């Protein structure tokens, strides 16, 4: 009996031994191997028993401290896709394995290693944009934040469903943000210090007249699965834009070169669903006294429409300690969306909710960021601590929680993002009463929603805040014209053109206003100037044709109508105008051809049919 008891005891002990094959390999494959494999960001691979054994002490140590695998969100505050962080029981397995002498166990129990393939995760991209020259990163310690300009060599608008980054040097590139710069203004800074790119932790693109809100987090982090957006939610990339790749690099101890490339994957068709990024922040309230261990910044935004929250991206610099975001539902219920207790800029990431979080209209999104500006915070960039304010340098602070949301509900006759934009900008004006962008964007949103009377005060304020901003004056003019204040609109447009004579949108608008004022000659002059710069604008060519025709200059009108019809074949209206001009000037045969083209484009078009019949009759009459 004694012997039997001993055998049983031994078997039980055996069963509890942690082995590589049974417990450790599955954990490494799921949580570590995406980075810890050859050619990736991590300093050594963790794919084989030998790899793991050679680092067993280190693995036990860094998992116990939760330094590895890096995962910032606290469980229970948002349900995110991805491997997440290790449980306490999983961490204990690494310690046990080390204590047990790192046994391999039964090789038959080994799981299949994950199937990683080199190169682009999604296969060859449709478009690859690479840094023209490599950047040389010094060996000296200290993080480097730098921006590289990649011109987009496209000839037509594309819709992007996925973006990958190939850094060319995975060990030193910690993460990247890609910014679309349609204005191409940032390229002026390229090479300003003699090296490719330009320094800076954050970049801002210029405000333009178009409502094209940011819709996707163009964020890249080594070792993560590339996020593919469904085709119907792809993001737009216009020819002539620049991509700005903002890289966070950490020197390795030896000189390194980086020549990153962005791979873009096109969607098959334009999107039909349009997400939008909502930002909670109050950087203007960041003014942290030296030594303050717990400085708090908050922000809130009441949602005017129902949305689904798809993902969240928190951001602070080195003093940020704790970041929390939540939703306050009607009735006071609080829904946690994110909590990070030990913020670490080095491991910032976009977190995608496993299932979109549905929030009804009237919900308030809220966030709180706590900063530690004491000497006891080792990440404090200043010794001794100094007063720190909001700003975009790495020694300034920020506190942002971005949400990617998708407006819920069925089709509307307006873009629901404009309603969100209104709410965001109204909140922004509360926070920053003298903010130009907030006034401009709110005015532009109201204008786009067909509320010019409501837009005018905000656009007027934008002009007051930035009198030399031609875009603001142009937008104000559009609202004034829509509110039938034609003379005021003309005044703003003249001023916009005085500020920027090359501002073609304003010139076109001025032409329209002069036309509305009955000044056809003035209209024509501005239109022809506009067409010198933008000869491929079919609408403007057609308008020039009509203006010339109204002035009785039929022969001159025809080339403009013809150009419009060539530029956009299949637009019945252009063909009808061309046909009418031709018929009036006596070229009946060509006129018939034009009317026939119009009917081919739009068989139900009665004007085209009438004109065709009349012209044929005239031809018969001639015979």
Partner 1 sequence: MKACLAAMLFAATLLCAAPRPLVLIFTRTDCPISNRYAPEVKRLYAAYSNRVDFRLVYVEPGLTADRMERHQTEFGLAVPAVLDTDRKYTRMAGATITPEAAVFVDGELIYRGRIDDRNASYGIARAQPLHRDLDEVLAAVAAGKIPSPRFTRAIGCAIEPLK
Instruction: By CB under 8 A, tell whether 171 contacts partner 1.
Output: yes
Instruction: By CB under 8 A, tell whether 518 contacts partner 1.
Output: no
Instruction: By CB under 8 A, tell whether 55 contacts partner 1.
Output: yes
Instruction: By CB under 8 A, tell whether 317 contacts partner 1.
Output: no
Using CA atoms of 368, 369, 375, 380 in order, give the dihedral in degrees to the nearest 10. Answer: 180
**Strand residue runs (E) in 360-422:** 364-371, 388-389, 399-407
Positions 231 through 250 that interact with partner 1 (CB under 8 A): 250
Site residue total, partner 1 (CB under 8 A): 35
Min CB(98)–partner 1 separation in Å: 9
Min CB(71)–partner 1 separation in Å: 12
Instruction: By CB under 8 A, tell whether 155 contacts partner 1.
Output: no
Task: Find the binder of partner 1 among 16, 65, 153, 155 (CB under 8 A).
Answer: 65
What Cα–Cα distance (Å) separates residue 545 from each residue in 135, 344, 514, 534, 594?
52, 62, 16, 15, 15
Site string for partner 1, 342-361 (x = CB under 8 A): --x-xx--------------
Q: Which is nearer to partner 1, 263 or 320 (CB)?
A: 320
Using CA atoms, how far apart are residues 11 and 391, in angstroms rounded to an integer?
Answer: 63
Instruction: By CB under 8 A, tell whether 19 contacts partner 1.
Output: no
Q: For residues 449 and 472, is the Cβ–Cβ distance under 8 A?
A: no
Positions 34 through 53 that interact with partner 1 (CB under 8 A): 43-44, 53
Task: Find the binder of partner 1 among 378, 410, 502, 518 (CB under 8 A).
Answer: 378
Task: Find the binder of partner 1 among 187, 236, 302, 379 (CB under 8 A).
Answer: 379
Instruction: By CB under 8 A, tell whether 386 contacts partner 1.
Output: no
Other residues' Cβ atoms within 10 Å of the Cβ of residue 435: 18
Other residues' Cβ atoms within 10 Å of the Cβ of residue 10: 10
Q: Which is nearer to partner 1, 372 or 461 (CB)?
A: 372
Other residues' Cβ atoms within 10 Å of the Cβ of residue 518: 9
Task: Find the binder of partner 1 among 56, 359, 456, 463 (CB under 8 A).
Answer: 56
What does the block give as tokens for 303? Answer: 């949602």
Q: Which is nearer to partner 1, 84 or 381 (CB)?
A: 381
- Three-class DSSP category at 574: helix
Instruction: By CB under 8 A, tell whether 14 contacts partner 1.
Output: no
Instruction: By CB under 8 A, tell whether 268 contacts partner 1.
Output: no
- Backbone φ/ψ region at 570: left (φ over 0), alpha (ψ -120 to 50), beta: left
Using CA atoms, how far apart are residues 297 and 315, in angstroms rounded to an integer?
Answer: 13
CA 411 and chain centroid, separation: 23
Non-local CB neighbours of 89 within 8 Å, separated by 6+ positions:
none
Among the listed ranges 133-141, 194-202, 304-312, 408-416, the one in contact with partner 1 (CB under 8 A) is 133-141
Q: What is the DSSP letter of 229?
A: P
By CB under 8 A, name the binding residues for partner 1.
Answer: 43-44, 53-58, 61-62, 65, 67-68, 70, 102, 139-142, 171, 250-254, 318, 344, 346-347, 378-383
């Amino acid at each position: 009996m004694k012997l039997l008891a001993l055998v049983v005891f031994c078997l039980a002990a055996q069963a509890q031994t942690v082995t590589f094959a049974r417990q450790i390999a599955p954990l490494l494959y799921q949580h570590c191997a995406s980075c810890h494999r050859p050619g990736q960001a991590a300093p050594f691979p963790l794919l084989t028993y030998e790899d793991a054994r050679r680092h067993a002490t280190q693995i036990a140590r860094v998992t116990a401290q939760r330094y590895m695998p890096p995962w910032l969100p606290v469980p229970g505050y948002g349900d995110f896709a991805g491997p997440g962080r290790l449980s306490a029981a999983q961490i204990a397995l690494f310690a046990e394995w080390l204590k047990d002498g790192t046994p391999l166990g039964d090789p038959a129990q080994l799981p299949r290693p994950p199937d990683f393939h080199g190169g682009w995760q999604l296969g060859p991209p449709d478009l690859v944009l690479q840094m023209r020259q490599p950047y040389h990163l010094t060996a000296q310690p200290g993080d480097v934040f730098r921006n590289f300009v990649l011109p987009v060599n496209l000839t037509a608008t594309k819709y992007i469903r996925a973006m990958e980054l190939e850094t060319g040097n995975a060990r030193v590139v910690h993460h990247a943000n890609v910014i679309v710069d349609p204005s191409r203004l940032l390229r002026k800074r390229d090479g300003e210090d003699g090296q490719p790119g330009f320094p800076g932790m954050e970049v801002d693109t210029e405000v333009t007249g178009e409502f094209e809100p940011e819709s996707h987090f163009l964020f890249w982090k080594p070792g993560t699965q590339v996020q593919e957006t469904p085709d119907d939610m792809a993001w737009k990339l216009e020819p002539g834009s620049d991509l700005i790749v903002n890289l966070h690099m950490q020197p390795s101890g030896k000189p390194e070169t980086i020549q990153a490339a962005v791979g873009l994957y096109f969607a098959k068709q334009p999107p039909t669903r349009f997400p939008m990024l909502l930002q909670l922040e109050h950087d203007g309230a960041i003014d942290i006294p030296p030594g303050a261990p717990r400085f708090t910044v908050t922000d809130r935004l009441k949602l005017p429409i129902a949305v689904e929250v798809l993902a969240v991206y928190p951001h602070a610099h080195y003093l940020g300690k704790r970041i929390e975001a939540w939703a306050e539902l009607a009735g006071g219920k609080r829904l946690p969306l994110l909590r990070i207790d030990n913020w670490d800029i080095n491991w910032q990431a976009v977190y995608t909710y496993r299932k979109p979080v549905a929030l009804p209209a009237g919900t308030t999104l809220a966030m709180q960021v706590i900063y530690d500006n004491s000497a006891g915070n080792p990440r404090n960039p200043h010794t001794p601590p100094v007063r720190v304010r909001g700003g975009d340098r790495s020694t300034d602070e920020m506190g942002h929680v971005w949400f990617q949301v998708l407006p819920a509900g069925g089709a509307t006759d307006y873009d629901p993002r404009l309603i969100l934009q209104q709410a965001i900008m109204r909140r922004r004006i509360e926070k920053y009463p003298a903010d130009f962008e907030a006034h401009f964007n709110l005015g532009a949103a109201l204008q786009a929603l067909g509320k010019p009377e409501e837009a005018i005060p905000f656009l007027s304020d934008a002009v007051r805040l930035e009198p030399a901003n031609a875009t603001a004056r142009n937008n104000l003019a559009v609202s004034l014209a829509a509110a039938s204040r034609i003379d005021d609109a003309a005044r703003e447009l003249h001023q916009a053109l005085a500020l920027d004579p090359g501002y073609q949108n304003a010139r076109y608008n001025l032409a329209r206003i002069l036309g509305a004022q009955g000044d056809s000659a003035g209209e024509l002059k501005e239109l022809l100037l506009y067409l010198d710069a933008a000869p491929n604008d079919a609408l403007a060519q057609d308008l020039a044709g009509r203006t010339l025709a109204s002035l009785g200059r039929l022969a001159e009108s025809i080339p403009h109508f013809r150009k419009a019809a060539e530029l956009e074949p299949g637009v019945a209206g252009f063909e009808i105008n061309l046909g009418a001009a031709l018929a009036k000037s006596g070229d009946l045969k060509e006129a018939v051809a034009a009317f026939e083209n119009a009917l081919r484009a739009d068989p139900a078009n009665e004007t085209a049919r009438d004109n065709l019949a009349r012209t044929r009759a005239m031809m018969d009459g001639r015979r």
